[in-house]
Structure 1
Amino acid sequence: MRVVIAGAGNVGRSIASELVENRHEVLLIDRDPRAAKAETVPNAEWLLADACELSTLDEAALHRCDVVIAATGDDKVNLVVSLLAKTEFGVPRVVARVNHPKNEWLFNESWGVDVAVSTPRIMAALVEEAVSVGDLVRLFTFQQGEANLVELTLPQDSRVIGRRVQDVSWPPDTSLVTIVRNGRVLTPTPDTPLEGHDELLFVALPEREKDLQELLAPHAT
Structure 2
Amino acid sequence: MRVVVAGAGVVGRSIARELLAGGHTVTLIDKRSSVFSSDPVEDADQQVGDACELSVLERLRIEEADVVVAATGDDKANLVVSLLAKTEFAVTRVVARVNDPRNEWLFDDRWGVDVAVSTPRLIVSVVEEAVSVGDVVRLMTLRRGGANLVSVTLPPQTPLAGRPVSRVRIPRDAALVAILRGGRVIVPEPDVPFEPGDELLVVAPEAVEADVSEAILGG
Aligned partner of 2:36 in structure 1 is 36
Secondary structure at the counterpart of residue 76 of structure 2: helix
Q: How well do the aligned residues superpose, as a CA RMSD in angstroms? A: 1.5
Aligned partner of 1:48 in structure 2 is 48
Percent identity between the two aligned chains: 57
Task: Describe the superposition over 1:102-122 as per-residue Cα deviations: whole angstroms up to 9, x where unpaired.
Answer: 000100111111110000001
Letter in 1 for 2:211: D
Offset of residue 40 of structure 1: 3.4
Aligned partner of 1:170 in structure 2 is 170
- Describe how 1:10-21 pairs up with structure 2 within 5 A: 10-21=10-21
Question: Hey, which bits of structure 1, 4+ residues long, moved more than 3 A?
Answer: 37-40
Paired with 2:190 and 2:37, the residues of 1 have a C-alpha distance of 50
Letter in 2 for 1:180: L
TM-score by length of 2: 0.95
Please say if 1:197 is aligned against 2:197.
yes
- Describe how 1:1-221 pairs up with structure 2 within 5 A: 1-37=1-37, 40-218=40-218
Secondary structure at the counterpart of residue 203 of structure 2: strand
Task: Describe the superposition over 1:62-101 as per-residue Cα deviations: whole angstroms up to 9, x where unpaired.
Answer: 1111111100000011011111111111111111000000
Paired with 1:166 and 1:37, the residues of 2 have a C-alpha distance of 56
Offset of residue 178 of structure 1: 1.1
Check whether the contact 1:155–1:197 (CA below 8 A) recurs between aligned residues. Answer: yes
TM-score by length of 1: 0.95
Secondary structure at the counterpart of residue 208 of structure 1: helix
Count of aligned pairs between the two proteins: 219
Check whether the contact 1:172–1:208 (CA below 8 A) recurs between aligned residues. Answer: no
Unaligned runs of 5+ in 1: none
Letter in 2 for 1:6: A
Check whether the contact 2:168–2:216 (CA below 8 A) recurs between aligned residues. Answer: no
Letter in 2 for 1:199: E
